[in-house]
Amino acid sequence: MTRRFSLLVTDRPDVLLRVCGLLLRRCATVGTLSYGPSRHPGWARLDVEVSVDERHGRGLSERLAALVDVRDVAELRSSAARTPALH
Domains, the chain? 2-78 (3.30.70.260)
Residue 8 corresponds to which amino acid?
Answer: L
Q: Which long-range contacts (CB under 8 A, 24 or more apart) does 28-31 make?
A: 28/52, 28/56, 28/57, 28/60, 31/2
Q: What is the pLDDT of residue 47?
A: 96
Specify the pLDDT at position 75.
Answer: 92
- Residue-by-residue pLDDT tens, the chain, 87 positions: 899 999 999 999 899 999 999 999 999 999 999 999 999 899 999 999 999 998 888 889 999 999 999 999 999 986 544 444 433
Radius of gyration (Cα) for the chain, nearest Å?
13
Task: Give the per-residue pLDDT at 82.
Answer: 43
